[in-house]
Structure 1
Amino acid sequence: MQFGASMFFTDYSMTAGALARALEERGFESVWAPEHSHIPASRKTPWGGGGDLPKRYYDVMDPFISLTLAAAATTTLLLGTGVCLLNQRDTIQTAKLVASLDQVSGGRFLLGIGVGWNREEMENHGTAFETRAKLVRERVEAMKAIWTKSKAEYHGEFVDFDPIMAWPKPVQKPHPPILVGGAFPQGARRALRYGNGWIPIAGRAPLEDSLAAFRGMAAEAGRDPAEVPISTFGAPEDLDTIRRYRDLGVSRMVMTLESETAETILPVLDRWAALIRQV
């Protein structure tokens, strides 16, 4: 099992470079940056975590900028979006961002993606809530073409372009791993259809039942579950739970850090590093 940490990087949090160095020094595998381009003032869509939407959601920096800083500050740490909202991003430009970050990091990028939950946010980008999942799938398929072909083209319902030439290409072949976030069963189906991993959120639903069903779905889809490893976000700071998730076959646990300074965050990392050594 590998361990990562996620933070909403803001202008008042620990910097991405400083956190990445601290994680690498303590034996963590990866750092993850979430994203929201903005939060509409209407706040009609409820937050899945329950209660009021935390301030960090309004303040979070662009994940590709944060992860570039993290890449420059480290040598082995993997760099992931957790998650990138593809339905709110241009397909061709995002393909270039992913390939560029994979290049400058020496092939250390992980593309975590999601279909989004905030209807008003995505509508401000011109995305219809009801068709967002199909839009994301088409954008993934189109980006795969851009990453792997010298002259790429794609013709779908929402994404449509004639042959283009776009560089750089990613270091990782055929492309960086695409880890699909989302609850069971919809998120699991998307991960099996076009992903290289699945990201369920720990604590939102019984993980044991979801993992067993996921493996059955993988068999039905003709995919080896080992080719679609599971990463859980929101990992609890509890050794028994960590060992239970490990025994269930979870490949990576990602803990969520508050958007705080080093004075608050480093002791948390030290406690987790002690747990990791026991696993």
Structure 2
Amino acid sequence: MRIATTIFLTDQTITPVRLARELEQRGFAGLYLPEHSHIPVERTSPYPAGGVLPPEYGRCLDAFVALGQAAAVTERLGLGTGITLVAQHDPIDLAKQVATLDHLSGGRFTLGVGYGWNREEAEDHGVDWRTRRDRTHDALALMRALWAAEPTAHHGRFHSVRASAAWPKPAGGAPRILLGGAAGPKLFAAVAAHADGWMPIGGRGLSETVPALRAAWEKADRDPAALRVVPYAVRPSAGKLERFAELGITEVVAQLPAAPEPEVLRTLDDYAQYL
């Protein structure tokens, strides 16, 4: 099983360069980074995990800039977002960022996609909260048009682009796309329609939800062997990893603390037992 990692990299934590080098040297499979452009101080959106929102949410580095640094100092380490709030981006610009990072890294990039939980953050980007899911799907279709081998137009409900010269292309034609979100028929239909797999937070309840996702996937005439389920922000244990393996899961993203270098390296030492 591939063990990747995720962390809120901030102006107070270990640096992207130092972490990426340590991960590759130690044999970890990848580095996934979350994103928040800003966190409005006055908000009504509750923190999904409950309690007080941790300070790193308002301090996180730009994921693409940080992953670009990580790509430059590694050769094998997988790179990904966990997740990109696609509806908050101009999809033409985002398509260029994704393609550039994937091209420069030699096809090591995974685009994790999410709909978001912070309504106030999204509204500051001009996103109508009720349409964020449809905006996300429309943006993904536009990006795929720009990544196509031949100039391809896209005319959607929210986004459009003329047939265009748009280079570089992602190394493999398009990066792997994983959709995050809570389990349910609506989410699983979206995964089957717009993504290459699912990125569930924490991995609880997968014995029940993975079969339901596989049924939705096959109903959409997708290749059963192509589905990827990548549990995200996991606190690993031998029992969890064994359970995931029984479900056919081959990659897990382990949570690292948003901390200075010594604490992060101690956590990597602890996680090394699972490599």
Check whether TM > 0.5: yes
Counterpart for residue 267 of structure 1: 266
CA distance in 2, matches of 1:9, 1:116: 19
The answer to whether the aligner puts 1:90 opposite 2:55 as a matched pair is no
User: 2:68–2:101: 8 Å Cα contact kept in structure 1?
Assistant: yes
User: 2:147–2:170: 8 Å Cα contact kept in structure 1?
Assistant: yes
User: 1:30–1:78: 8 Å Cα contact kept in structure 2?
Assistant: yes
CA distance in 2, matches of 1:189, 1:36: 26
Counting only pairs closer than 5 Å after superposition, residues 24-35 of structure 1 correspond to structure 2 as: 24-35=24-35
Between 162-171 and 28-37, the greater mean CA deviation after superposition? 162-171
Q: Which runs of 4+ in 1 moved over 4 A?
A: none
Structure 1: state its 5+ residue gaps. none
Counting only pairs closer than 5 Å after superposition, residues 173-184 of structure 1 correspond to structure 2 as: 174-184=173-183
Give SS of 2:231's match.
strand
Q: CA deviation at 1:134?
A: 0.6
CA distance in 2, matches of 1:226, 1:235: 24
Counterpart for residue 239 of structure 1: 238
Counting only pairs closer than 5 Å after superposition, residues 45-194 of structure 1 correspond to structure 2 as: 45-172=45-172, 174-185=173-184, 186-194=186-194
Counterpart for residue 217 of structure 1: 216
Aligned length in residues: 274
CA distance in 1, matches of 2:197, 2:17: 26
User: 1:18–1:73: 8 Å Cα contact kept in structure 2?
Assistant: no
1:111 alignment partner AA = L
Q: CA deviation at 1:27?
A: 1.2
Counterpart for residue 39 of structure 1: 39
Counterpart for residue 22 of structure 2: 22
CA distance in 2, matches of 1:95, 1:84: 12
Percent identity reads: 39
User: 1:63–1:81: 8 Å Cα contact kept in structure 2?
Assistant: yes
The superposition leaves residues 65-97 of structure 1 with CA deviations (integer Å, 9 ceiling, x where unpaired) of: 010011011100010011011000001100000
Q: CA deviation at 1:268?
A: 1.0
Q: Structure 2 length normalisation: TM-score?
A: 0.96
CA distance in 2, matches of 1:169, 1:124: 31
Q: Structure 1 length normalisation: TM-score?
A: 0.95
Between 107-116 and 163-172, the greater mean CA deviation after superposition? 163-172
Q: CA deviation at 1:224?
A: 2.5
Counterpart for residue 207 of structure 2: 208
CA distance in 1, matches of 2:23, 2:187: 28
Q: CA deviation at 1:189?
A: 2.1
Q: CA deviation at 1:162?
A: 2.4
CA distance in 1, matches of 2:38, 2:52: 16
Q: CA deviation at 1:168?
A: 1.2
Counterpart for residue 257 of structure 2: 258
CA distance in 2, matches of 1:160, 1:238: 46
Structure 2: state its 5+ residue gaps. none
2:158 alignment partner AA = F
Give SS of 2:51's match.
coil
Give SS of 1:210's match.
helix
User: 2:142–2:161: 8 Å Cα contact kept in structure 1?
Assistant: no
1:59 alignment partner AA = R
CA distance in 1, matches of 2:126, 2:27: 41
C-alpha distance 151-224 of structure 1, shift in aligned 2 (>3 A): closer
